[in-house]
Structure 1
Amino acid sequence: MRKNLPVTQNVYTFPPDQTLISITDLKGRITYCNASFVAVSGFTCEELLGQPHNILRHPDMPQEAFRDMWDTIQNSLPWTGLIKNRRKNGDHYWVRANATPVRDGDTIVGFLSVRTHAPAADIEAAEQLYARMREEAQAGKRQTVLHRGHIVRRTLPGRLMALSKPGLGGQQAMLAAFAAGLPLAAMSAGAPMWGNLLAGVVGALAASIGLHVMTIRPLRQVVRTANLLASGDLTRFINVTDSGEIGQVQLALAQLTVSVRTVVRDVRHEVANLLGGTQEIAGGNQDLAARTDTQAHNLQRSAAAMDQIYGTIQQTSRLSEEGAQQAHAAFQVAERGNSAVQHVADTMQEIATSSERIHDIIAVIESVAFQTNILALNAAVESARAGEHGRGFAVVASEVRALAQRTAGAAKEVRELIQESGTRVSAGEHRVEEARQRMAEVMDSVQKMAVVLDQINTAAQDQTRGVGHINDGFGELESITQQNMAMVDELASAAHSLNHQVGAVHNTIRVFRLTERDTTLAEVDAVALRKEQRKNAINEDGHINFSHELARHRQLRVMLRNAINRKLQVDEKIGRDDCCTLGAWLAGPGHQQHGHTHAHAELHAIHAAYHQELGHVAVNINKKRFNEATALLESGQPLHATGQKLTKAVENMAAIA
């Protein structure tokens, strides 16, 4: 017998209106369990599917209870009894288990177990019974056993008690014996004929009354219960008051009532959960529509800016062409100015040369003058000595005359040179004026070019502003596109949640077979199911299905919305980042393998922040502040932004893990 440890002996109480349902194959491996079953067990769905059902067995349960249950259901009969189950953390919870075989025609293909809330009085009686059964088993004297869910004591009082509750056939035999026994007793006592007749009438009347009390009345109760069930009334709990065939009918009706009630409750639960998903999708669609409208407006602005930029570019091109023409004209004017200035320079050079020649001539004149002065002095001296007889004066005078002639020639040449220089200076002034005019033209062209360049600059500034508007518009478009992508992820998550809930409804309905071709959940391959579920958990190599974990974290928002809609309490452990598979991976294998990376540190921080925001919503829900909780789930709130960051962080982590 499997012994699951540890145990805490702490009682876990679940709401009385919850029904826990599971289906196993012929080997007792779980092939289906509803959400209530998963929540109460403390395990995850992945940890349960494909596993033996005795994973929930509590060590305090006597082996006799499970022996009787398996013997009963393997004989195609329903079984009911109180069971103490162990949760994953060692706590326990009591249920009234209703187990029945699942058939495909006449063949048993699996077993259905429906568990409901157990009353405190029944739990107390069961604890005493199971304690006595464990003591008897340890002592090797089993005097208390179970038979088809009923207590059987192997003592004389117990056997007499069993005889006092005969089945339908036994009851009929007892009544027949009683009816026939009275006349025979009267005859043996020597009673007269009328006495025998009276005894026969009394016996028949007593047999009729007994038949009514032991058979007719219970059958009427069964018919009344069946009529209530046929009318859709699933509120009545059927008490099994008989241990015979009628009791078996009552037990079957009780099992049917519980099964149908469970199916209806699960379907209602999942359909109610669809509301949260549809609200999530509706809210996402509204956000997406608003962002799309903003995006369209920005596109219109961008298109108008592009038209403006196109016009500005055309104007800039035209102005640039005019600027190029003006620049070419300025170049030609500057070239002519340069040529004129060069002519001026040449003229000035010629003037300089003429000036040098004039200097030489003047030097000659000065020399002649000097010599003339000397000769004049000599002539004076000679004239003074000779007196009237100075003959040499004539020679001197001749020389002076010659010098004078030379001076006159030099003066003539000077005059000619001066005239020539004046002419050239005049020409130089003309050239300088021409150069001045050319330079004025250059300045005018340069000024026009400056105006054109100013216009080009203004156009360039307009173009820059237009480009800036486009950049801003496209920046908003990029941001909105990213938000839309995140919203698409959110909508995909909501759709995934709806698909999951529809799958849950579908599995709930599959409890029943409508045609011979239908397969029930009991016929699912448990081994393949277990392998499939392991893909969604941390495997032996320390890897994890990031897509599955991201979808599960997104579904937590839908779960909170459903809790708000249905005014349900929420487990505030949702605010802890160490109570999910992703959190366990980040703290365990993920830390060992990637703890040194930025992606791991980022995901660890964002994952903790996401659960913290979920916890804030859960606290408001549990305090019945539903409006505040709803507001925290809306877009633009920290939970929504952190969810988008979580998506990116998980994708980054998946890229390296």
Structure 2
Amino acid sequence: MQNLGIRIRLGAAFGAMWSLMAIGIAVALPRLDDAADARRVLIALAAAALCVAVGAVWGLARSIEAPLSEAVHIAETVAAGDLSQEFNTERGGEFGRLLGGLGEMEDMLTDLVTRIRTATDSITDASHQIAAGNTDLSQRTEEQAAALQQTASSMDELTAMVQQNTERARAANGMAASASGIAARGGEVVGNVVQTMSAISASSRKVTDIIEVIEGIAFRTNILALNAAVEAARAGEQGRGFAVVAGEVRTLAQRSAAAAREIKQLIDDSVRQVDSGSALVGQAGATMEEIVQAVASVTGLLGDITAASEQQSAGIAQVNEAVAQMDTVTQQNAALVEQAATASQALAGQATELQQVVGEFRL
């Protein structure tokens, strides 16, 4: 509509100019006497037409300049980043549409920049939080990796110690088995000694019985020698030799009785000592049996300990392998966390740059 009005006014101005020139020529030419007057008239008409054309163009320029100035002002304001202005126009036609479109563009840019600024602020805060969290997580992951490395080293040492204990348990089990065999043989020897002491005790009792018989014989021999001496005294000179023999027999009988008593005393002492020794040997035999049983129990326990140590060694080997795998995974996680931290820092930097760019707009 605006362009149509401009075209109409231009057409009217030029039509009026040509009409004025035609009228002037039609009026002036019949009255002119020579060509010089006609030329002057034509020049005057041309000047008048030119003035009319200049006036029309000036009016047209004035009608275009104002809306163009408004459009340039809107464009310069938006280009300067100032979106806080409100642009309203009541003009019609093409310039009205142009100014209305620029205002709508400014409104859309304002809404878009507002949303971008809000999103950028959220992204900036989130990226900073993510970067801080990743940094903290990276530090904790590194600490966990160091702890796992120490744990792996400790597990290696523990594995070596358990293997040593297993070998020592096997050696102790072998020694206990050997000791059990030795104790069993010692028990058999003690049993034989007990039987031998019992036989010696029985023989000593038999010797005691024989000594008692000898004492009885010596006592009766002494009585007989005493009776023979009495009978020899009655016989007088004839029985003197017999009396001497009877005296010697009596002396031998007394000496035999004394020797028998001494032997009996010695045998009794020997029997008591043999009995005491038999009792001690019996106690030793019982003790050896207990030792054998204890050694057998220790052997069984050492066997259980050996089996448990072997199982423990296998379990610790599995744990060591698991710790090694955890260490590898933790190292990989640490690398991933560092990459994520780097990416988060880069994102935070880009978000900050975007925030600075958006901050150049004034809403």
> Taking structure 1 as the reference length, what is the TM-score of the superposition?
0.29
Question: Which structure shows the bigger proportion of residues in strand conformation?
Answer: 1
Bigger RCO (CA 8 Å, 6+ sep): 2
Scaled by the length of structure 2, the TM-score of the pair is 0.47
Larger helix percent: 2
